Amino acid sequence: MYHVKEAFYTLQGEGAQAGRASVFCRFTGCNLWSGREVDRALAKCTFCDTDFIGTDGINGGRFASAAELAAHLQALWPTSARNATPYVVFTGGEPLLQLDKALIDTLHDAGFEVAVETNGTLLPPPGIDWLCVSPKGRNTLAITQGDELKLVYPQTDAPPEQFSELAFTHFFLQPMDVGFLAQQTDNVASTTAYCMANPQWRLSLQTHKIAGFD
């Protein structure tokens, strides 16, 4: 059984694929936080910007098989976009708690490319076309290679220098969103300064929040 918080058609807002039309599938649950505000301060990941509890979001639900969930996601790719390669982004919560080879294979059979946004603490199933790893504090990485490493910045326990030798194609720093403007301005400024001093790293802004498309 797959548990999905929400699923929707949008543009990828972040990283090297920013601007690309995508079906987002947000799985329920995470291994680094319960998702409850009362648990946030003591969680293994404390700055999450996402509600991933339950299956009550738009197009959310429980899906008994890979075929059922794949058909649900396929229906969100518009027929008007049939000349482009359909693209699905699995996120969460932590998608590697639920994403499996059967679901990836079924989506490939339907013509999709499959992308994943993960905290990197769990091993991925085979067949992922675009793997984005976003390390969290002291939590040990199980994945040390992939397409992009997208680090939320700044994190006291996870400085960029700790990841710069890993085998990723792209390295991004994404300013931490803490929900109030003055701090956001500071985080964007410090991230910009780090990228200018260390050009291996590029700035990733959360463009969906700026443009308001989800």
- Is residue 48 within the footprint of ligand SAM (CB under 6 A)? yes
Judge whether 90 counts as a catalytic residue: no
Find the helix or strand (DSSP H, E) in which 175 lies. Answer: strand 167-175
Judge whether 25 counts as a catalytic residue: no
Judge whether 48 counts as a catalytic residue: yes
Angle, CA of 19, 200 and 134, to the nearest 5°: 60
- Is residue 59 within the footprint of ligand SAM (CB under 6 A)? no
Judge whether 161 counts as a catalytic residue: no
Q: Which range of residues in 12-20, 75-83, 136-144, 160-168 is near ligand 2KA by CB under 6 A?
A: 12-20
CA distances from 45 to 122, 140, 142 (A): 15, 12, 16
| DSSP sequence for 110-152 | TT-EEEEEE-SSSPPPTT-SEEEE---TTPPPS--EEEEEEEE
Please tell me the number of Cα atoms within 13 Å of 80 on its side-chain side: 2
Judge whether 30 counts as a catalytic residue: yes
Q: How far is the CB of 45 from ligand 2KA (least distance, A)?
A: 13
Helices (H), the chain: 66-74, 101-109, 181-197, 207-211
- Is residue 134 within the footprint of ligand SAM (CB under 6 A)? yes
Nearest residue to 138 via CA among 157, 153, 156: 157
Q: Is the preceding peptide bond at 160 cis, omega within 30 degrees of 0?
A: no
Nearer to ligand SF4, 2 or 52 (CB): 52
Q: Which range of residues in 10-18, 64-72, 75-83, 197-205 is near ligand 2KA by CB under 6 A?
A: 10-18
Q: How far is the CB of 197 from ligand 2KA (least distance, A)?
A: 26
Q: Which does 150 bind (CB under 5 to 8 A by kind): ligand SF4, ligand SAM, ligand 2KA, none?
A: ligand SAM
Using CB under 6 A, which of 10, 46, 50, 184 touches ligand SAM? 50
Q: Residue with structure tokens 């792209």?
A: 170
Give residues in contact with ligand SAM (CB under 6 A).
30, 47-50, 91-92, 94, 117-119, 134, 150, 152, 174, 176-177
Name the residues annotated as catalytic: 24, 30, 45, 48-50, 117, 208
